[in-house]
Amino acid sequence: MFNLLHCPRIARVCLVLAASVPVLVRADDCLTVGNFSLGADEKGAPTGWQLAEKSGHATFSLAKDGAVPALWLRSTNTSFSFQRQVSADLKLYPVLTWKWKVTDLPKGGDFRKSGTDDQAAQLFVAFSRTRSIVYLWDTTAPQGLMADANSPPFVFIKVVVVRSGAADLGKWLTERRNVYEDYQRLFGRTDKPPIVSGMRMQINTQHTRSSGECAFADLMFAKK
């Protein structure tokens, strides 16, 4: 099992693995990673996920928003995440789908600058200790941008800005990314994607000394 890398910035977080997790729910057409109707463990974390606090203390809850069972993350000058171990073969399940909702964005957040590297919602897909893709809802960086994150030597983190700005605040949005194709586009088309080994949901506002709030629901890998 790989170790979690603790680093002060979003771009320096590479691998996200929980120490002990239940078996993922597999079906013919999907692999469920985050079902937040399953309740919490003895520490209050969603079943199957592990809390990691990087700066300050985490504020979170499991609550339904209408009919959507969700994990809510609230940050005020803090940084924390939930992570879990995953084993997903992108050849079988190439498409990652999830729901998220952002109600508060870090003021001036922009992953492209270390001093403003805060986001209301981040979803990491880790392949190894040194290679991952992170899908962002950023305050400033333009939607659709694909770029390298600021990372230590020999660590390769690719950023995809899925949403940007306040236009869709307060709305549940369903996202669909072909991670297999994203991996080949970002790391090289001749590079065969390895097995997905971990996932991480993160929020941070400590660089901008502001606040943010988001919710995640229904994370799964699906057939194309």
4: in domain? no
Residue 144: exposure state from Cβ atoms within 10 A (0-12, 13-18, ≥19):
exposed
On whether residue 5 sits in a domain, the answer given is no
What does each C-alpha distance from 197 to 84, 99, 193 come to in angstroms? Answer: 9, 21, 11
The first and second tokens of residue 146, run together, are 């694909």
Strand residues in 111-155 grouped as ranges (E) = 119-126, 131-138, 146-148
Is the residue at 3 inside a domain?
no
Distance CA 193, CA 180 (A): 6
Residue 80 lies in a domain: yes
Domain count, the chain: 1
pLDDT at residue number 3: 31
For residues 92 and 136, what is the distance between their CA atoms, to the nearest angstrom?
24
For residue 136, count CB atoms less than 10 angstroms from its CB and return exposed for 0-12, middle for 13-18, buried for 19 or more.
buried
pLDDT on residue 25: 58
Residue 157 tokens, joined:
């983190």
Give the pLDDT of residue 54. 95
d(CA 212, CA 118): 9
Residues 212, 218, 222: CA angle, nearest 5 degrees: 130
CB-side neighbour CA atoms (13 Å) of 178: 7
Q: Are 149 and 10 in contact (CB under 8 A)?
A: yes
Note whether residue 214 is domain-resident: yes
In this prediction, residue 23 carries a pLDDT of: 44
DSSP string, 45-100: SBTT-EEEEEES--EEEEEEETTEEEEEEEEES-EEEEEEEEEE-TTT--EEEEEE
Give every residue of the chain whose pLDDT is below 70, as ranges. Answer: 1-28
Q: What is the pLDDT of residues 80-136, one digit of tens each?
A: 999 999 999 999 999 999 999 999 999 999 999 999 999 999 999 999 989 999 999
CATH at 171: 2.60.120.260
Q: Which of 136, 186, 187 is nearest to 164 (CA)?
A: 136
CA 82 to chain centre: 9
Question: Does residue 141 lie within any of the structural domains?
Answer: yes
pLDDT at 6: 35
Is residue 209 in some structural domain?
A: yes
> What pLDDT is recorded for position 27?
61
Rounded-to-integer distance, Cα 62 and Cα 77, Å: 21
In a domain, 1, yes or no: no
- Range(s) of the domain holding residue 96: 10-222
